[in-house]
């Protein structure tokens, strides 16, 4: 059971702090069941806070994917899902009003959801920031400030990251 309650400001800080990958199972995806997957561990450059990333993509329905950032609590060692980038894999309930979307979307930990007794990562919003799995990874790397990602994703070049940054401004 998750006992840590994070503020939205702390969540934003944890997502955006500069991180580096220090441990990866592999540099390419492996298949398990019906998904291509990869996992790796990160540390915050400034203070060594620990994070992990999971990447999943359905092998037959490529728009069905999930890329998530988890924070390892220093207090309880619990892994707390901070954000998850998803494809348009089905209806999602957005905000508390249950407005439904079948679009690319991002889940983000919400303190308000904790106070309402809901799963904090259930909060989600539709996005136009990416439209493919590859673009979602690029956007995720930028948003989560992962500085050495191109060392682990050979196809993720510095030029792509720079181009993506310029488009977002």
Asked, for residue 2, whether it belongs to a domain, the answer is no
Domain with 126 in it:
8-168
Hey, is 12 helix, strand or coil?
helix
Asked, for residue 3, whether it belongs to a domain, the answer is no
DSSP string, 87-104: -S-S-EEETTTTEEE-S-
Asked, for residue 16, whether it belongs to a domain, the answer is yes
Asked, for residue 95, whether it belongs to a domain, the answer is yes
**What does the DSSP 8-state code read for residue 121?**
G
pLDDT in tens, 57-87: 988 887 889 999 999 988 888 899 999 999 9
In this prediction the pTM is: 0.85
The CA distances from residue 28 to 25, 48, 73, 86, 141, in Å, are 9, 25, 28, 20, 16
Note whether 50 and 18 are within 8 A (CB): no
pLDDT at residue 65, rounded to an integer: 93
Task: Compute the distance between CA of residue 37 and CA of residue 28 in angstroms, rounded to an integer.
Answer: 9
C-alpha 22, offset from chain centre: 17
Asked, for residue 89, whether it belongs to a domain, the answer is yes
Asked, for residue 70, whether it belongs to a domain, the answer is yes
pLDDT in tens, 113-164: 889 888 888 888 889 999 999 899 999 999 999 998 888 777 676 545 554 4
Number of domains present in the structure of the chain = 1
Asked, for residue 1, whether it belongs to a domain, the answer is no
CA dihedral 139, 141, 143, 148 (to 10 degrees): -150
Asked, for residue 71, whether it belongs to a domain, the answer is yes
pLDDT-derived band of residue 96, with 50, 70 and 90 as boundaries?
very low
H or E element in which residue 68 lies: strand 65-72
């Amino acid at each position: 059971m998750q006992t840590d309650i994070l503020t939205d400001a702390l969540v934003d800080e944890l997502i955006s702090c500069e991180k580096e990958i220090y441990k990866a199972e592999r540099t390419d995806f492996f298949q398990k069941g019906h998904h291509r997957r990869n996992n790796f561990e990160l540390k915050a450059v400034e203070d060594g806070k620990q994070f992990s990333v999971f990447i999943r993509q359905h092998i037959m329905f490529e728009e069905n994917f999930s890329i998530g950032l988890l924070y390892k609590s220093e207090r309880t060692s619990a892994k707390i899902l901070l954000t998850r980038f998803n494809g348009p894999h089905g209806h999602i309930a957005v905000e508390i009003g249950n407005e439904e979307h079948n679009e690319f979307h991002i889940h983000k930990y919400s303190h308000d959801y904790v106070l309402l007794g809901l799963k904090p990562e259930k909060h989600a919003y539709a996005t136009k920031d990416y439209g493919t799995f590859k673009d979602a990874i690029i956007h995720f790397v930028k948003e989560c400030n992962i500085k050495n990602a191109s060392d682990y994703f050979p196809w993720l070049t510095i030029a792509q990251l720079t181009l993506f940054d310029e488009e977002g401004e």
